[in-house]
Amino acid sequence: MDEEKIKCFLTLAETLSFTKTAAVLHKSQSVISRQILSMEEELGFQLFVRDSRFCSLTPGGEYLVKGLSKIVGEYKVLLKNAEAIQSGTSGVLNIGMMSGDITEHYNTFFHSFYSAYPDIEVNFIDFDVTNLDYKLRHGEIDLAIEITSSKWFKANMNQFRYIISGIRHDCIYIPKTHRFAGRDASTLSLKDFSDDTFLIFDTADPDINSSPSFGYLRSFGMEPKCRFCPSLSSLVMMLEAGQGVTISSDHLVLTASPNFEKLFIPEIDIERNDAFLWLTENANPCIKIFAHFLSQYIAKHPSMVTDDPYYTRPSDNG
């Protein structure tokens, strides 16, 4: 049974007039009559009792009206939802975040996105560099928040698209029991930490000698003592135990700990760009909606990228 017959039947059931039905559907009365007759022949029972002026539903016709009205309503909702999913205004978007990251600076953005697209379900999934590639390629995450200077990013950048979304600043984290705790960081130099052990955390490459932090320290003529940490949790515990210091982004969970101080040494002027990235081949239509919204949001709120709520030098506090 085709859609035109159903529409004709339901309209006639509502108006109980071939003349009115013809006017509503912009068809001739003869076409309406043929549609109803064809439907009755197809079903094998009569739908309407007709006379020269009026018509009325048969018991079978009344029952069919109730069922078809429900089915047509559900069908319209089904089509609307399918269209929304296809266009990306509805669906599921899995966004990966590095384990240990603090992403509170995205809260306002995501609140705006939820308000604009309430039918897109956003899930946040932890990853580390060792499984980022797998999660992206197997569809476990659609987008990831990653640092554009990371080795993984540089090695795979031709396979994905990205939008710069924030700036991270490196600093030295020290325990509050450290000899420089409470000192004005502007009076310190990296060489003042020559006797300290630098804790290195890099899940992508456990070789300390290839660590960016190690190379950075050596560029200042230091031969730093370094110790590798297999996880961010182990680094936090070692810092709290006073076993060393670390150079790291001020977006890591270290920032939220009351047991550490951040020292923005003048020589450390490393800035790292945050980016939302996704594989070019990912066909999830919600990505296009998200990327467009993110670009528009950043254009209207450039401080989302340029202003870092965690980056506050002592001199900025007055």
pLDDT for 189-206, tens place per residue? 888 998 999 988 765 555
Contact yes or no for 274/164 (Cβ under 8 A): yes
Which CATH code of 3.40.190.290, 3.30.70.60, 3.40.50.300, 3.40.50.2300 fits the domain covering 92-318?
Answer: 3.40.190.290
In the chain, CATH 3.40.190.290 sits at: 92-318
Q: Calculate the alpha carbon distances from 152 to 60, 147, 238 in Å.
A: 67, 9, 26
Q: Kindly state the percentage of the chain with pLDDT values over 90.
A: 24
The least confident of 68-82, 143-157, 256-270 is 68-82
Tell me what pLDDT residue 316 has: 37
The pLDDT of 36-46, averaged and rounded, is 91
- CB count within 10 Å of CB 262 equals 20
Q: Kindly state the percentage of the chain with pLDDT values over 70.
A: 83
Beta bridge mates, 93:
122
- CB count within 10 Å of CB 17 equals 17
Q: Rg of the Cα trace of the chain? A: 32
For residue 163, name the pLDDT band (cuts at 50, 70, 90). Answer: very high
- d(Cα 257, Cα 100) in Å, to the nearest integer? 12
Tell me what pLDDT residue 318 has: 29
| Element housing 74 (H / E) | helix 59-87
Contacts of 201 (CB under 8 A, 6+ apart): 228, 229, 231, 232, 234, 235, 246, 248
The residue with greater pLDDT, 271 or 241, is 241
Tell me what pLDDT residue 45 has: 92
Which CATH code of 1.10.560.10, 1.10.10.10, 3.40.50.1820, 1.10.3720.10 fits the domain covering 3-87?
Answer: 1.10.10.10
Ranges of beta strands (E only) in the chain are: 48-50, 55-57, 91-98, 120-127, 143-147, 160-175, 197-201, 225-229, 246-249, 260-263, 271-279
- d(Cα 124, Cα 22) in Å, to the nearest integer? 54
The pLDDT of 83-106, averaged and rounded, is 76
In the chain, CATH 1.10.10.10 sits at: 3-87
The residue with greater pLDDT, 72 or 14, is 14
Contacts of 276 (CB under 8 A, 6+ apart): 95, 143, 144, 145, 162, 163, 165, 290, 291, 294
Q: Calculate the alpha carbon distances from 115 to 111, 118, 293, 296, 301 in Å.
A: 6, 6, 12, 15, 17
- DSSP label at 137? H
Nearest CA among 209, 227, 215 for reference residue 270: 215
